Amino acid sequence: AARRSEQRKLLCFVKLADYMICDTLHNLLLDSEEDLLRVVHKQPLPLVLEKTADEEVAEAERVAKLSGAERKKEEEDKLAILPVPLFEVQLKLKDGDLHFVPSPSEYQHKMDAVVRGFVATLCTCSRLLAQDDLMNQVLEPGMEVEMGSTLAELIECETHTELSADIKFSVAEAFESALMAKETYKGHVAICAEDAQRDQHQLTADYTEGTRSLLSFKEDWHEFNSQKKRIGKLPRSIDLGIIRINSEQLVEELLPLPARCISQIEVILPELAAERYHAFIAEVHSGSTALTARIGQVEDFVGKLTALEELKERQLQFNKQLLEITSLYEVIEEFNIFVPEMELAAYATLNSDFNSLKEHMEAVETTRDEHVSLFSKQLEEEVDKINKEATNIRNQAQAELVLDQSQKNEDVIKYMSNLKEELMEQQMGSKRISKFQKLFKVMDSSYQELEDCMMDVDLKLNLWTSKREWGELTQDWGAMKFEDVDVNAMEETVQKFYKNVCKAERGLPPNKVVPIQKEKVEAFRGTIPVIASLRNKNLKERHWEKIEEIIQLPVVRDDTFTLNKLMEMQVLNFAEEIAVVSTEATQEGVLEEMLTKVNNKWSDIEFSVLPYKETKDTFILGGVEDVMTALEDSMVTMSTILSSRYVAGIRTEVEKIEKQLGLFSETLDEWMAVQKGWMYLESIFSAPDIQRQLPSEAKAFYAVDKTMKDIMRKVKDRPAALMIGTTPGWLETFGKANETLDRIQKNLEEYLETKRMAFPRFYFLSNDELLEILAQTKNVQAVQPHMSKCFDGIKSLDFGDDPKSIDIFSMMSAEGEEVSLGKNLKARGNVEQWLTSVEKAMKESLLRETKRGWVTYPNESRKEWVLHQPAQLVLVVSQVYWVQDVMACFNSTNPVAAMKALYDKNVTTLTQMTEVVRGFLTNLNRKIMAALITIDVHARDIVNHLHETKVEKEIDFGWQMQLRYYWNDEKDHCLVRQTNAHFNYAYEYLGAQGRLVVTPMTDRCYMTLTGALHL
């Protein structure tokens, strides 16, 4: 027992020691992570890579004021506050962008691995409870102890997680500062990237083309030197907290780029200066050489004057070139750019060489007049020589062989050509002399003899050349196939030869050559109209037959038919007759072209065929406006063709087409009439009731219907308008169909008339509306839409809830008023019969309601009574009782006083009605009250008028002129009277229609109407 007690104590001690070890390891992990966090959480100092010039000057002045000890202490303080970096990254340029090597992500992964290494290292420690040797001594045999959580689980906690995240964040934050520092280098990188793109040859080309100036080279020089200085001042390393940015390699890469650009400028400027100098000095030396050349002949002096003029013209350009070269060398000297000594020595002679050129120019200008005077005499001698030579050539051109008709063309042409060549040489000499004289600024010499000789030789040479060419041309034309003759080209050529021979006739002395040549040309010229007439493209076989009749010879137009053969037929003797035939052919061609256009137009015109009412295989013609327009245009064209006097040759074809168009026009008119009538009657005779009532007409219509549908199916398959519209027999078919449809229409009108005679109110309906009713005789509801036209006050009839019911219960007004029509009223039989019954029931019902209202009016309050009567009867019964009251006044002993009492009663009644209106009323009752008050107001005004005019007798016109209602007890119905006219009340239902204010004009209208009806 004591042993077990000791073992338990020992086990507790081991557990306690194991717990303390785990806790110690856990604290060690947290302490390590905190130490690491403190190291990586160092804040970087503010980053200043570059200072402005003003800042650098101010800093230098401040440091200069410090003593040596103060400067040393300041340097030590700076070093003391600088944190020691943990990591170093290389800032490198790759693919035009800056990158850190290693990258921030790699450092982050390494830092995460360090933290995980802390945990892994601690987990290598063995727990006491896991040591078997120790636990065997502590535990009794068969006993086990629970290990609980693993060491890794015990070590990790929320604090560990937070510290790990803080370490990661601190590293990321440190690299954020590094990334910001990297951005400051990007400006230099971008500038150096532009420097790397600069091309030396392109810069030279731009300067040569004028797109780059010398000033831009100077600005570039200063800019590249500034870049070089700025890049050289960039720090080779930057410490930002735990990170050191090593930028030494980047700076070494960037620094050569602006230096390279400076080197380019140092190469370009000397090359440009040398190139410009050598080009300029070559021109100066060339000019000096030309101006100092020895003068032996006039050409030498002319060359010297020409060079002088050219140099004067280029004087401004020379000055610009000199200024440019001087500016280039000044820039080279300013930038201390190396130039070979040979080039500098050559440049030193620039001004002296240019001044020497100016001196030579002045010397030539000084001796100019002397040389001009000398050489002008030589030129005058040459002019005399040229004129003498021209006279000699002109004499040679007067030789007899030149205008001898018997001479051969080639001999004369050769002779004259030689003379022409000699003249050309003399002419060139004259131009040379004129050029020199212009340069000498002396008056030009005259070469009239040379010009006259040239004109004479040209005329004679052209004459013989034309003579030879004319013979060749006429021979070729004569052998040419007649079909290949180009009349226009021939006429143009002949006209050219004619002008040449006329010119020779005017300019040459009388001779035999010109008249003979002119006669030949005129003779052929006279054949052109005949040839043009026979080459008319519109000539047909019938026209050639006419031509053969005219010339009395057959014309075989095969490959052997040439112009010579045509001339052998003596066609010139029949020129006028052939021209007439050609004109006819041309005019007929125009007419045929018009006829062809008509035919082509109709080949493309088709009918527009549309389905009719979505019925299968039933079609109608759509719009035919385009067809009618084309037809009218074609008929006008045909009339124009037929009215032409040249139509005889094609009259048969023209009349055929005109007849076809006429047939088409008639057929189309009949066709459209049939379609219109068929479409109108088709909807009518599709109703079984109409078919039953008009069997013979229905049979005739369906015969037309079948024909119409068959024709339209054919049109659907072949819609070509002219072709289908002139189908044989269709005109007669459409004509008969129109006659049938007219007969059906007439019979239909007669049928409708019988219905209207049976029920006259049908006269208020149109044919279509009446046919709509008659086509649905079994559907009594079909009459509902038309009730308001047959009966002014009835909008509809009440057939009950069953839509197939034939029982009629009441009539409804447009205002919603319903009046019973009594019992046993049915819509049975023909529609005109039961509508007659409705009319009769309407009158009986209103008479019945009027009697009931007449009886109940005295026994009920008027305010209640008006709300339970039909609107129409409220007015009628009220008027009857008002007339009775007026008549009672006339029959009293003092009618005037009684009339005043009645007036007061009417006012009281109106007041009561006003109270009713102010209360709650339905829309119908409100309309009834409005109409009643309107009549009551008029009645009040009449009573007031009777009282004021002191009307005391019934026969007085003041009373007789009023529209009055009486109840006849003997006949038991209402009477209406005005003046000497009287009528029985018609009991036509009016509904709850509104009433306008009754004015004196209204009363006069009533008197006029009732008086007319009474007559």
Predicted confidence (pLDDT) per residue in 170-208, tens digit: 877 777 777 777 777 777 777 777 767 777 777 777 777
- Hey, what are 56's tokens? 């650098």
Residue 63 pLDDT level (bands cut at 50, 70, 90): low
422 touches 393 (CB < 8 A)? yes
Residue 879 has pLDDT above 90, yes or no: yes
Residue 139 has pLDDT above 80, yes or no: no
In the chain, the percentage of residues whose pLDDT exceeds 70 is: 87
Angstrom CA distances, 304 to 292, 294, 433, stand at 8, 9, 16
What's the pLDDT score for residue 300? 61
Among residues 397, 454, 452, the alpha carbon closest in space to that of 428 is found at 454
What's the pLDDT score for residue 30? 81
Average pLDDT over residues 566-582: 79
What does 658-676 look like in DSSP terms, one character per residue? HHHHHHHHHHHHHHHHHHH
Average pLDDT over residues 238-261: 77
Predicted confidence (pLDDT) per residue in 936-976, tens digit: 999 999 999 999 999 888 889 989 999 999 998 888 889 99
Q: What whole-number distance in Å separates Cα of residue 179 and Cα of residue 805?
A: 95
Say which residue, 741 or 211, is predicted with more confidence. 741
Q: What whole-number distance in Å separates Cα of residue 483 and Cα of residue 481?
A: 5
Average pLDDT over residues 819-846: 89
- Hey, what are 608's tokens? 């527009």
49 touches 183 (CB < 8 A)? no
Q: CB-based contacts of 307: which residues, under 8 Å, 6+ apart?
A: 287, 290, 291
Predicted confidence (pLDDT) per residue in 802-832, tens digit: 878 888 889 999 888 999 988 888 888 888 8
3-class SS of residue 330:
helix
Among residues 232, 245, 254, the alpha carbon closest in space to that of 91 is found at 245
104 touches 178 (CB < 8 A)? yes
Say which residue, 359 or 657, is predicted with more confidence. 657
What's the pLDDT score for residue 59? 62
What's the pLDDT score for residue 82? 47
747 touches 697 (CB < 8 A)? yes
Cis? peptide before 785, omega within 30° of 0 = no
Sign of CA dihedral 590, 595, 600, 606: positive
Among residues 729, 730, 733, 753, the alpha carbon closest in space to that of 741 is found at 733
What does 703-742 look like in DSSP terms, one character per residue? HHHHHHHHHHHHHHH--BHHHHHT-TTHHHHHHHHHHHHH
Q: End-to-end CA distance of the chain, in Å? A: 154
Q: Which of 87-91, 243-247, 504-508, 748-752 ranks highest by mean pLDDT?
A: 748-752
Predicted confidence (pLDDT) per residue in 51-60, tens digit: 555 655 566 5
- Hey, what are 422's tokens? 């000699």
The structure tokens 């029509």 sit at: 821
- Pairing, β 97-101 against β 810-812: unpaired
Say which residue, 401 or 983, is predicted with more confidence. 983
Predicted confidence (pLDDT) per residue in 637-654, tens digit: 888 888 887 777 778 888
Residue 671 has pLDDT above 70, yes or no: yes
Q: CB-based contacts of 340: which residues, under 8 Å, 6+ apart?
A: none
What's the pLDDT score for residue 940? 92
Residue 147 pLDDT level (bands cut at 50, 70, 90): low
The structure tokens 């002399």 sit at: 433
What's the pLDDT score for residue 46? 46
* Cα 705–chain centre separation: 49
Q: What is the 3-state secondary structure (H, E, C) of 207-261?
A: HHHCCCCHHHHHHHHHHHHHHHHHHHHCCCEEEECCEEEECHHHHHHHCHHHHHH
Q: How many Cα atoms within 13 Å fall on the side-chain side of residue 62? A: 7
Average pLDDT over residues 100-128: 79
Among residues 187, 183, 175, the alpha carbon closest in space to that of 88 is found at 175
Residue 847 pLDDT level (bands cut at 50, 70, 90): very high
What count of other Cβ atoms lies within 10 Å of the Cβ of residue 656? 10
Q: List b or e across 929-957, with b for residues whose CB sees 16 or more CB atoms inside 10 angstroms.
A: bbbbbbbbebbbebbbbbbeeebbeeeee
- Pairing, β 243-246 against β 87-94: parallel
Q: What whole-number distance in Å separates Cα of residue 552 and Cα of residue 916?
A: 120
Average per-residue pLDDT for the chain? 80
670 touches 738 (CB < 8 A)? yes
What's the pLDDT score for residue 372? 63
Predicted confidence (pLDDT) per residue in 729-786, tens digit: 888 998 999 999 899 889 888 888 888 898 898 888 888 888 888 888 788 888 888 9
Residue 250 pLDDT level (bands cut at 50, 70, 90): confident
- Pairing, β 619-621 against β 818-820: unpaired
The structure tokens 């005004």 sit at: 941
Q: What whole-number distance in Å separates Cα of residue 350 and Cα of residue 200?
A: 27
423 touches 453 (CB < 8 A)? yes
Provide φ and ψ at 12, rounded to 5°: -65, -40
Q: How many Cα atoms within 13 Å fall on the side-chain side of residue 514? A: 19
Average pLDDT over residues 999-1005: 89
Residue 433 pLDDT level (bands cut at 50, 70, 90): low
Residue 462 has pLDDT above 60, yes or no: yes
CA angle 404, 409, 411 (to 5 degrees): 85
Say which residue, 381 or 292, is predicted with more confidence. 292
Residue 901 pLDDT level (bands cut at 50, 70, 90): very high
Say which residue, 246 or 840, is predicted with more confidence. 840
Residue 9 has pLDDT above 50, yes or no: yes
* Cα 860–chain centre separation: 80
DSSP run (H or E) holding 303: helix 298-313
- Hey, what are 810's tokens? 């009441």
Q: How many Cα atoms within 13 Å fall on the side-chain side of residue 175? A: 21
> Is residue 309 packed enough to be buried (19+ CB in 10 Å), middle (13-18) or exposed (0-12)?
exposed
DSSP run (H or E) holding 958: helix 957-960
Average pLDDT over residues 867-892: 91
What's the pLDDT score for residue 50? 46
Task: Among 113-122, 193-202, 586-595, 954-963, name the one with the lowest average pLDDT.
Answer: 193-202
What's the pLDDT score for residue 965? 93
What's the pLDDT score for residue 74? 62
What's the pLDDT score for residue 80? 46
In the chain, the percentage of residues whose pLDDT exceeds 90 is: 10
Residue 379 pLDDT level (bands cut at 50, 70, 90): low
Residue 704 has pLDDT above 80, yes or no: yes
Predicted confidence (pLDDT) per residue in 283-339, tens digit: 888 777 777 776 656 666 666 667 677 777 778 888 888 888 888 888 888 888 888
Average pLDDT over residues 687-709: 86
Q: pTM for this one?
A: 0.46
Residue 71 has pLDDT above 80, yes or no: no
Average pLDDT over residues 610-622: 81
What count of other Cβ atoms lies within 10 Å of the Cβ of residue 216? 13
